[in-house]
Amino acid sequence: MTTSPSAVAAPPAAAALQGPIGLVGLGLIGGSLGLDLQRCGHQVRALVHRAGTAERARQRGLAQVVDTDAAVLAGCRLVVLALPLDRLLDPSPALVAALPAEAVVTDVGSVKEPVLRRWRGLHPRFVASHPMAGSAEAGVEAGRADLFRGRPWVATPAAGGDGPALAAVQALAAAVGARWLTCDAAAHDRAVALISHLPVLTSAALLLAAEQGAAGGPPEWDLPRLTRALASSGFADTTRVGGGNPELGVLMARCNREALAEALTGYRHCLEQLEQRLAAADWEGLEGELSHCRDLRPEFL
Amino acid sequence: MTTSPSAVAAPPAAAALQGPIGLVGLGLIGGSLGLDLQRCGHQVRALVHRAGTAERARQRGLAQVVDTDAAVLAGCRLVVLALPLDRLLDPSPALVAALPAEAVVTDVGSVKEPVLRRWRGLHPRFVASHPMAGSAEAGVEAGRADLFRGRPWVATPAAGGDGPALAAVQALAAAVGARWLTCDAAAHDRAVALISHLPVLTSAALLLAAEQGAAGGPPEWDLPRLTRALASSGFADTTRVGGGNPELGVLMARCNREALAEALTGYRHCLEQLEQRLAAADWEGLEGELSHCRDLRPEFL
């Protein structure tokens, strides 16, 4: 697997998306896909776990057909597994059995190597992919139109893989307005460790440090109250991902443990460099680092 | 100094703000004060450093009178030193000499102990204060109406201080719609180290770690490009303050060095705890920490 990240300009033929599209799960990602795909004129059939979810999904119009029976996927030419990582890595036998053998199957998980390892043996036409779109919302109420517009949708195809299957997933990404790119699965996991999973832990640590640091002062300072009263938009922004969904945070840590541990080691080193400049009163050096950061950030936006 | 943080409900009599108000500096804070105070019917006289700034400030209507001669402050009953920390801690003798002895003088610096130490001997009616309002903008173009509305404005009065002087600064904060509170200067500096200055360094370290971590992979991965392409809103939010004005970052580090070093030590400890849970595959423990963070964050918003 040596595919380097490549953006593809021309959208592939819509032919790759003919026939009904199956969605497994109608949370934020699945529900948003359902809304966008129906708007493009596609037939969408969805499988959900609970009858209550199915009922609410029907009310919200997230798919034309919603069922708790995996047989709903029969006849689908493309199936998107919009499941949390734990359920994706440990799928029910009924789900695996219900996936049509000729259908292209893809997922939306935020870690790709373990998913690819697991699904390579489960379905002949599996393509690992990851739309980089998120929100603080989750569940059947979270799906919304245009979630993917302008966002990256990255696929990590196996070497010597199924070209038409990859083209179908690319057509799906194009249909919802996402920016398509492909890369190696290990490269993906390393990249998201740095820009998506590491920030969750550094941001969580900031909340913990503010709480614990504020617990320390003399009682008459009432630092816990003062610290909370003075926190402003900078603190809110910096702690947003650290104060997010704990289950998602644990799943990404579990599934991308090695790359995240490596990212943390690198982060600790960078922070210690800044700390040493503070300790040494090396203001020129600190200004150099912060100027570099100011110039660096726009490259990531 | 044992004043605990206290919010005061009733705005003090506008009488405390009678007579012309002087502003020293017309950057983001000074310019915004000028716009708001004039709108409330106050006479505003401003001192700026450069003739070009004075010209532009007049065009923008940031004050009724703008001059580069400190004599413009004559007759002011309240003067706000809206200067960067370095110039505030090393004021020109001409400025100090021009401050009317009977005027109340306050500042807007983000660190209070060194300011109080310096200014206690320079002016008999000095009150240290800090409006918690910011923006990415700086300079004479940055000032805007309503910057302070609903934001905290904290004063750190010296023990046995000048009550009427404090009331004048409180009236100023009320005039621009800020939420008034008072606390000990050392408590303020500790609190802002945790919720304002520490985030600058943890956020800067994240940018550096992403850059350095991405430089590491096999060349065919093109990780530098991939990492930048995949970074999304979470990374943008978490790195905003770390990619901000380097000069401001260095000033706050220089002026609040001890509290910031202490905050960094605490932060490193919290991050190491999370890192150890990852290394030990203690997913239950990690979920506990992240759940605590999710519950903690709203207390700071």
| Interface contact B235-A199, CB threshold 8 A | yes
Residue B237 shares a structural domain with residue B196 = yes
| Interface contact B281-A221, CB threshold 8 A | no
Q: Does the beta carbon of A270 lie under 8 angstroms from any beta carbon of chain B? A: yes
Nearest to B242 among A243, A261, A293 (CB): A293
| Interface contact B134-A232, CB threshold 8 A | yes
Residue B43 has pLDDT above 50, yes or no: yes
Q: What are the Cα distances from residue A73, in Å, to A20, A38, A192, B165?
A: 9, 16, 31, 75
Check residue B6 and give its pLDDT: 46
- Whether B164 maps to a domain, the answer reads yes
Check residue A167 and give its pLDDT: 95
Q: Does the beta carbon of A206 lie under 8 angstroms from any beta carbon of chain B? A: yes
Residue B28 has pLDDT above 50, yes or no: yes
Question: Percentage of residues in chain B with pLDDT exceeding 70?
Answer: 94
Q: Which helix (H) or strand (E) holds B107?
A: strand B104-107
Q: Does the beta carbon of A161 lie under 8 angstroms from any beta carbon of chain B? A: no
The DSSP line for B162-177 is -HHHHHHHHHHHHHTT
Interface test with A, best of B135, B260, B270 (most A CBs within 10 A): B270
Q: Determine the residue type at B159.
A: A
Residue A104 shares a structural domain with residue A161 = yes
CB atoms within 10 A of CB B164: 11
Strand partners, B65: B45
Check residue A133 and give its pLDDT: 86
| Chain B residues inside the 8 Å CB shell of A249 | 286-287, 290
**Where residue A161 sits, what CATH number does that domain have?**
3.40.50.720
Check residue A15 and give its pLDDT: 65
Check residue A4 and give its pLDDT: 42
Check residue B298 and give its pLDDT: 97
Nearest chain B residue to A235, by CA: B195
Could you say which DSSP state residue B90 is in? S
Q: What are the Cα distances from residue A187, in Å, to A109, A259, B111, B122, B228?
A: 15, 10, 43, 59, 13
Check residue A10 and give its pLDDT: 40
The residue among B183, B208, B227 that closes a domain is B183
Check residue A14 and give its pLDDT: 58
| Interface contact B264-A286, CB threshold 8 A | no
Residue A75 shares a structural domain with residue A101 = yes
- Whether A216 maps to a domain, the answer reads yes
Task: Tell me, rounded to whole angstroms, the distance of Cα A22 from its chain centroid.
Answer: 20
Residues 6+ apart with CB under 8 A from A243: A203, A204, A207, B293, B294, B296, B297, B298
Check residue B136 and give its pLDDT: 67
Render pLDDT for B226-245 as a digit per residue (tens, 0 to 9): 999 999 889 999 999 999 99
The residue among B164, B183, B202 that closes a domain is B183
Q: Does the beta carbon of B214 lie under 8 angstroms from any beta carbon of chain A? A: yes
pLDDT under 70: residue ranges of chain A: 1-15, 135-136
Check residue B60 and give its pLDDT: 97
The DSSP line for A51-95 is HHHHHHHHHHTS-SEEESSGGGGTT-SEEEE---HHHHHS--HHH
Q: Is residue B181 helix, strand or coil?
A: strand
Enclosing domain of residue B244 = 188-300
Check residue A42 and give its pLDDT: 96
For chain A, the residue count is 301
Q: Which two tokens stand for residue B14?
A: 């506008």
When divided into structural domains, chain B yields a total of: 2
Distance CA A237, CA A203 (A): 9
Interface test with A, best of B271, B273, B292 (most A CBs within 10 A): B271
Distance CA B296, CA A204 (A): 10
Q: What are the Cα distances from residue A2, in Å, to A102, A139, A170, A247, B218?
A: 27, 36, 19, 32, 9
Render pLDDT for B136-185 as a digit per residue (tens, 0 to 9): 678 999 999 999 999 999 999 987 778 999 999 999 999 999 999 999 99
